[in-house]
A and B are shown apart, each in its own frame.
Chain A
């Protein structure tokens, strides 16, 4: 079923127009830049625009979908988004394993610019956070929004615009890095025109969300949607402020951020930390709040706790970015605020994790038997672990040891592998059968395999890097009994080798699991839908607002 066949003829017209506009935009960029990264990116947009012109144009006179479609949930964009999630999972984690290997074996790949560690590392981070995480957030947000509002997405074009536009942004980003184009701001590396493009995409996303919510048939907005909205809104705010930049020329992928020095550092980590908070946490809590109760068949343990943890997270998180800058040239007072708010932040964080785990009361037998639910359970546990670790690391004296070391990287991956990736897999295994009209995934046993690979890989990765980071931190500050520093820097580099090797192995296990998931989804997509049994509540009739 081609996506275009889910559109009416007039929607196809709009889609066709947008595709032409994209191709033209690409053409203007490519022609305006002439050469260099921006020209390549223009060509990419042109090619994508042309492809869409042919896809939509080719299906233009196909039969129109039946009029009843407006009474069904619109899941074709979710399906596409999940596909992109899995593709980016393999790209992003594949590059993760690659850069992990480079740190153990620096000459593993030829010394040509685009395979260099410094260029590939942001390909990994962008690939997993934005490609894998972002697509999963957008795809599941459509799914959750419709079902908890009992309404169809407000229109059929903007979900596609958002997903395709977002993936163009990701593709620009990672191809830019390997060609040497980057603003160097962590998690915000793409150049100015990609940043601008993301703003456009995001505005459409927010509008779609609000318009759909406005048509909901449930008077109350479900918690999951509060979180998805916080994700959309705050990411927009962070993205715009942190990426304010002056292009050197409108024809080149080159700009200077308008912020400098200590203010830039604070703004960067206000952004950077809250990319964690609102990209890697808030949106995924939305996912958790929907898929965990659905899969376990249990009610959310406490509505009141949901309220407090939601507002706690939204309010406290914003304050804590300065814990990335302890002992630096950032004034002490900001560091104190970052530290104290990080500690207070633990309370709403654990409240969310606790609420999720308590929800499983009465469903523990399902956790035992159902690997999909187990993914979500493990995610909640790691969410609790990594936020505890985060609050701990944010305490200044602790940070004096951990900062700059692999302990941070261990913390990052206990959060991203243990929490973010696990909840995504749990959600994927729940929704993919559903939108494929099936009761189960094509290969239920493979989920079990995936689960153990993921848990094993995460533990190997994280434990290795805790050891690595603490060793490193202790070596850097070790004094001998005569009051002199004990180790040279290079000795600490040498001490990392075994841990880096283990991390590569753990990562490879995790990647294998992700590949298994992608194949499983592919196989499930290809199964013929079973006769319609009602899986979801039907659409409601009366808008509530």
Chain B
């Protein structure tokens, strides 16, 4: 380091160290001794690394790698933690797998524990279609009313959740509103008018459209259109709508038919979670079972 060139090393008045003698366009460097703390920091971080390498999978060796003496596997660790979490909640959650809905609903303490979990499950899985507040939206039924396609009892709901409706699942519930595009245009308009008047009760029961309805629709929607046949066809009289019951929307329905899809959840949610959700959904319509009832 003593070999000078350009300029002779000079002593820097501020630090007291000498310069190296280099000079690049006026830039000099001090020949400050190597700070010990940097060495120590290097040693420290190296020791940290060394420990990690010994304990954990770390270095590739040929077609294999060192496993570390802890023998850790990130997948197994995650599964173990998940299992621990699940054990933490089995105490209350597993009851949803084994007990009757009525008993579960009647247990106020249990419901208080479970409903926040149900709400989170609903928000992450169902709210996208049925809305945060379960009020539904165009194409997706409300779940907070008393109008059901298949039924609002927890066990029916649980079945719906398991298999879905028109879902790619072998046992799915099947519900199709056929297209009536073969009807005369005038017949379709008349039907549309008729159906859109059903909720107000102002539909003319003697109109030709009423005959058309009885001939074509009542098989699924019931004689008066009140539904309730548990075949997936909604009531057309209760004011609750999926797609809309104004004449234009009904025309669309008649022309193209409908086949709403509700996904099946059996592969994604556990049995207990599905039952939990079923109770949550059943309670949404407000006829909450009062504790102790």
Contact = CB atoms under 8 A, between A and B. Distances in A.
B117 A482 contact: yes
B59 interface: yes
Contacts of B58: 333, 336-337, 340
A488 B127 contact: yes
A331 B57 contact: yes
Contacts of A341: 49
Given A220-B22, A490-B127, A299 B57 contact: no
Contacts of B92: 482
Interface stretch (A113-121, A187-195, A233-241, A302-310): A302-310
A480 B45 CA distance: 37
A483 to B, nearest CB: 3
Nearest to B43: A347
Contacts of A489: 124
B79 to A, nearest CB: 13
Interface residues of B, number: 58
Contacts of A331: 57, 65
B117 A336 contact: no
B56 A332 contact: yes
A290 to B, nearest CB: 7
Given A336-B58, A482-B117, A299 B53 contact: no
Given A482-B116, A486-B120, A489-B124, A303 B24 contact: no
Nearest to B123: A488
A290 B27 CA distance: 8
Contact of A301 (B13, B30, B74): B30
Contacts of A327: 74, 78
A376 interface: no
A490 B132 CA distance: 10
B27 A299 contact: yes
A291 B68 CA distance: 46
Contact of A332 (B30, B34, B72): B72
Contact of A336 (B6, B52, B116): B52
A304 B32 contact: yes
B35 A299 contact: no
A293 B27 contact: yes
Nearest to B25: A147
Nearest to A327: B74
A305 B35 contact: yes
Instruction: Give the interface size class of chain A.
Output: 35 or more
B249 interface: no
B285 interface: no
Given A222-B24, A303-B20, A332 B57 contact: yes
A422 interface: no
B120 A301 contact: no
Interface string B81-93: 0000110110011
Given A299-B12, A332-B73, A333-B66, A488 B120 contact: yes
B14 interface: yes
A449 interface: no
Most chain A Cβ neighbours within 10 Å, of B31, B120, B124, B127? B120
A84 B5 CA distance: 39
A485 B120 contact: yes
A395 to B, nearest CB: 10
A268 interface: no
A347 B41 contact: yes
Contacts of B46: 344
Nearest to B61: A333
Contacts of B114: 482
Contacts of A168: none
A302 B42 contact: no
A302 B5 CA distance: 18
Contact of B33 (A304, A351, A482, A536): A304
A150 B25 contact: yes
A491 B49 contact: no
Interface in A307-349: 308, 327, 331-333, 335-337, 339-341, 343-344, 346-347
Interface string B130-172: 0010000000000000000000000000000000000000000
Contacts of B13: 362
Given A222-B22, A290-B27, A340-B53, 9 more contacts: A218-B22, A303-B20, A304-B32, A305-B34, A333-B60, A362-B13, A362-B14, A484-B117, A488-B127
Interface of A: 147-148, 150, 218-220, 222-223, 290, 293-294, 298-306, 308, 327, 331-333, 335-337, 339-341, 343-344, 346-347, 350-351, 354, 361-362, 479-480, 482-491, 536-537
Interface of B: 5-6, 12-15, 19-20, 22-35, 38, 41-42, 45-46, 48-49, 52-53, 56-60, 65-66, 68, 72-74, 78, 85-86, 88-89, 92-93, 113-114, 116-117, 120, 123-124, 127, 132
25 contacts: A220-B24, A222-B27, A223-B29, A290-B27, A293-B27, A299-B29, A304-B33, A305-B38, A308-B38, A332-B73, A333-B58, A335-B74, A336-B57, A337-B59, A346-B45, A347-B38, A347-B41, A347-B42, A362-B13, A479-B85, A482-B89, A482-B114, A483-B86, A485-B117, A485-B124
